[in-house]
Structure 1
Amino acid sequence: MAEQISVEVVYALRERQDVVPVKVPEGATAQDAIEASGLLAKHPEIDLSTINKVGIYAKLAPLSTVLRERDRVEIYRPLIADPKEVRRKRAKEGKVMKKGGGDDAGGAEEGQ
């Protein structure tokens, strides 16, 4: 009989997180632990093939990753906004604000 290892599978929602401790055979993958956790049945919105990514201790990992004792398998929700696009928008707004502020400051100095 194969040795069993203990791992946690976590799915965080906005209002709470589900943490499910599971025992899986040594050599089990992240996919095996997720299936054993029951979270796929409890949260039908989880789609590991296209929408949700998976990680181990906040580091992205493929579903085929072989787990070790006490690993924490995390199922990530999709992002609401693209972080690159948000940064671009902030940078663009910041440049406009700085340029406008610079012109005002320059005009005040000229009047002195």
Structure 2
Amino acid sequence: MRVTVIRAWPGRFDQVEVELQAGATVADARAAAYSPDDPECVGVAVFGERAGPDTPLRDGDRVELLRALQTDPKDARRRRARDGGQR
């Protein structure tokens, strides 16, 4: 089966397609695409839904390696509202 593994940063992303055995998990995909102990990765999602390392994958899944938030979304909204909607 083939899955896509994606890492993203502000303004850019990296995408790798990997071929895995049937019954593969998120941990298998992460190890096949990138270093499994990447310190920037704080979580994983499959098509935007939080997933654990033992989550089974299906052909065509998109595994997203998640980074820590740089800004609290609520604080960012408050700041934009205070500044008149300017980013």
Moved over 4 A (4+): none
Q: Which has the larger radius of gyration?
A: 1
In the alignment, residue 40 of structure 1 is paired with which amino acid? S
The one of the two structures with greater contact order (alpha-carbon pairs below 8 A, sep at least 6) is 2
Q: Does 1:55 align with 2:49?
A: no
Residue in structure 1 matched with residue 26 of structure 2 by the alignment: 30
Cα deviation for residue 62 of structure 1 reads 0.9
In structure 2, distance between residues paired with 1:61 and 1:78? 15
Identity %: 35
- Shift of residue 23, structure 1, vs aligned partner: 0.5
AA partner of residue 71 (structure 1): D
Cα deviation for residue 15 of structure 1 reads 2.9
User: If the length of structure 2 is used for normalisation, what is the TM-score?
Assistant: 0.78
Q: TM-score, normalised to structure 1's length?
A: 0.62
1:40 Cα deviation after fit: 2.0
Matches within 5 A, 1:63-82: 63-82=53-72
Distance 1:40 1:30 in 2: 13
Match of 1:40 in 2: 35
- Please give the alpha-carbon distance, in whole angstroms, between the structure 2 residues aligned to 1:74 and 1:44: 13
Greater strand percent: which structure? 2
The unaligned stretches of length 5 or more in structure 1 are: 95-112
CA RMSD, 1 decimal:
2.4
SS of structure 2 residue aligned to 1:25? coil
